[in-house]
């Protein structure tokens, strides 16, 4: 198990299998994709807005975020990519990237040729279906983020983002001890929720004072998971992983 | 233009971003569908519903939305004729948001299985569907930016630019004005503002002679200034793919 787990594309394969039953041959084809592994520092750009992507990158470890910068220079974070995510499936059939992707932490990134992947998904319908589903789930998360920044107050926004992060990490067996290491600064949390970092700081303190979370540096512990979900108006349906709750146990 | 077939506008739109053969086009036109009329504000898809159909908007305007527990509503996108309004839901199996008609709409309801069969046997059509969903996602990203980091004037101007750009691409607005049935409340729900704020912003865009908006008709008086006000760059609509 350990050797196949260590294969960077194993992460991608595991995600695809959430959405589609892949025949053995397809599983093999995914794992046999040629890739190049790179170690990159926090802050490195994986994709820049306006680029013509030639690679599709898989995060073998580490975290990244999608972002756009407005005309007046303020930044909005659009999504957080967690270990195992394929970063530019969104760009796979669009010729120019409409946003940038930057690393939140140091990471191991596996580069797969975009052209090779395109050929694979078009020639193998089961793989294609799985990848479409993955990108649709990302789109669903984006819709929820429009709601989050558009119509929720500051406390709900932050609580919602924390819940989402926890459920996504849990689905990949990446949470421990009812909590997780938040790989984001308060400024980055602010950019993800359309708030100021001062506001984020105040909200986090409030959530802690009310006994919903406890914090130690960047470790967030869920002192009251149910109350946190309630505070964030959070329901996991939009993550489309409710059928896979047992995933954490199979890790 | 008079279309002999209800699905011709879809074929025409897909042909702009995908390389469809005559055979592909015929296969799309041969999709089975039921034509259905929806009154204003009717629900086409409800959150939580299992999806058995994929719906193409033929006439009118529609929008996606989510409701909050406190009764608030966030509109997530607007749709114009020839667009699928629920491909996102249709392919995932369970709807994670609502789809509503904005005014009187005509829709072509295609059984999900028929669309799945067509895309399974036909790579070019599968790619066309795929590109549609990727462009949808790009628009969602831009909307996160819009509500997250733009001020109210930029938000409204941006939304107007997007809609005008898409309407123009679909061949509407030949006379210089657009059929624009959105209420101020709907504009507010799409931009995370209050209706009062939206009203004030629209008035300022009118006063600055960027737009004219009355009785459901929108005229853009100064496109460049409107784009500037809305921080609008069409890249995210991916019309050159």
Q: What is the ipTM of this complex?
A: 0.94
Is A122 within 8 Å of B88 when comparing Cβ atoms?
no
Say whether pLDDT at A245 is over 70.
Answer: no
**pLDDT of amino acid A104:** 96
Give the lowest-confidence range in A18-22, A49-53, A105-109, B33-37: A18-22
Nearest-by-Cβ selection for B236 from A72, A95, A98:
A98
A60/A84 Cα distance (integer angstroms): 6
What letter would DSSP give residue A170? H
**CA trace torsion A143, A145, A151, A156 (10° rounding):** 140
**Chain B residues with beta carbon closer than 8 angstroms to that of A91:** 134
Is B88 within 8 Å of A93 when comparing Cβ atoms?
no
Local confidence band at A97 (pLDDT 50, 70, 90 cut-offs): very high
- Residues of chain B predicted below pLDDT 70: 1-3, 240-241
The answer, as to whether pTM is greater than 0.90, is yes
pLDDT digits (tens, 9 = 90+) for A129-146: 899 999 999 999 999 999
Element (H, E) at B183: none
Give yes or no for A122 touching B (CB within 8 A).
yes
Q: Which residue of A has its CA nearest to B123?
A: A122
Percent of chain A with pLDDT over 70: 93
Q: Which residue of A has its CA nearest to B239?
A: A94
**pLDDT of amino acid A12:** 86
**pLDDT of amino acid B105:** 97
- What does pLDDT average to over chain B? 93
**pLDDT of amino acid A184:** 95
Hey, which residues does B73 pair with through a beta bridge? B67
A10/A84 Cα distance (integer angstroms): 8
**Beta-strand runs (E) in B8-104:** 34-38, 43-45, 53-59, 62-67, 73-79, 98-101
Q: Which residue of A has its CA nearest to B229?
A: A71
**pLDDT of amino acid A251:** 27
Q: How far is CA A41 from the centre of its chain?
A: 18
**pLDDT of amino acid A77:** 97
- The owner of tokens 């005014």 is B103
Q: Taking residues A169-196, what's their average pLDDT?
A: 89
**pLDDT of amino acid A250:** 30
Q: Which residue has the higher pLDDT, A194 or B241?
A: A194
B84/B120 Cα distance (integer angstroms): 18
């Amino acid at each position: 198990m350990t050797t196949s787990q260590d294969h960077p594309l194993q992460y991608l394969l595991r995600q695809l299998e959430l959405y589609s039953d892949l025949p053995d041959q397809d599983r093999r084809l995914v794992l046999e994709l040629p890739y190049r592994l790179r170690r990159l520092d926090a802050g490195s750009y994986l994709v820049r807005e306006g680029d013509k992507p030639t690679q599709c990158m898989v995060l073998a470890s580490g975290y990244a975020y999608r972002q756009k910068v407005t005309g007046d220079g303020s930044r909005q974070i659009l999504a957080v990519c967690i270990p195992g995510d394929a970063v530019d499936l969104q760009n796979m059939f669009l010729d120019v990237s409409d946003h940038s992707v930057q690393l939140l932490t140091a990471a191991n990134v596996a580069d797969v040729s975009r052209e090779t992947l395109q050929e694979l998904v078009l020639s193998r319908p089961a793989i294609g279906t799985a990848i479409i589903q993955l990108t649709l789930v990302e789109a669903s998360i984006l819709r929820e983020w429009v709601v989050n920044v558009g119509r929720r107050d500051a406390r709900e926004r932050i609580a919602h983002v924390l819940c989402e992060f926890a459920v996504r990490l849990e689905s990949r067996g990446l949470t421990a001890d009812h909590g997780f290491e938040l790989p984001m600064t308060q400024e980055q949390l602010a950019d993800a929720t359309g708030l100021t970092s001062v506001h984020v700081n105040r909200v986090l303190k409030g959530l802690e004072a009310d006994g919903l979370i406890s914090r130690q540096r960047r470790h967030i512990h869920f002192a009251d998971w149910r109350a946190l979900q309630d505070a964030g108006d959070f329901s996991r349906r939009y993550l489309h992983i409710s059928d896979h709750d047992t995933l954490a146990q199979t890790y | 233009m008079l279309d002999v077939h209800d699905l011709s506008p879809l074929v025409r739109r897909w042909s702009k971003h995908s390389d469809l053969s005559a055979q592909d086009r015929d296969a799309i036109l041969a999709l089975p569908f039921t034509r259905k009329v929806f009154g204003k504000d009717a629900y086409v898809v409800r959150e939580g519903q299992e999806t058995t159909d994929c719906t193409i908007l033929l006439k009118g305007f529609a929008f996606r939305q989510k409701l909050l527990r406190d009764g608030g509503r966030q509109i997530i996108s607007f749709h114009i004729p020839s667009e699928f309004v629920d491909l996102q839901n249709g392919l995932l199996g369970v709807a994670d948001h609502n789809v509503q008609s904005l005014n009187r709409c005509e829709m072509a309801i295609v059984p999900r299985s028929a669309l799945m069969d067509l895309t399974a046997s036909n790579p070019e059509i599968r790619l066309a569907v795929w590109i549609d969903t990727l462009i949808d996602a790009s628009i969602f990203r831009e909307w996160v930016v819009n509500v997250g980091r733009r001020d109210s004037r930029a938000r409204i101007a941006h939304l107007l630019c997007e809609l005008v750009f898409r309407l123009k691409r679909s061949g509407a607005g030949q006379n210089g004005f657009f059929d624009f049935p959105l209420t101020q409340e709907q504009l507010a729900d799409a931009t995370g503002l209050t209706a009062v704020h939206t009203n004030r912003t629209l008035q300022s865009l009118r006063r600055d002679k960027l737009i004219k908006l009355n009785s459901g008709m929108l005229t853009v008086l100064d496109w460049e200034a409107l784009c500037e006000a809305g921080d609008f760059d069409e890249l995210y609509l991916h019309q050159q793919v």
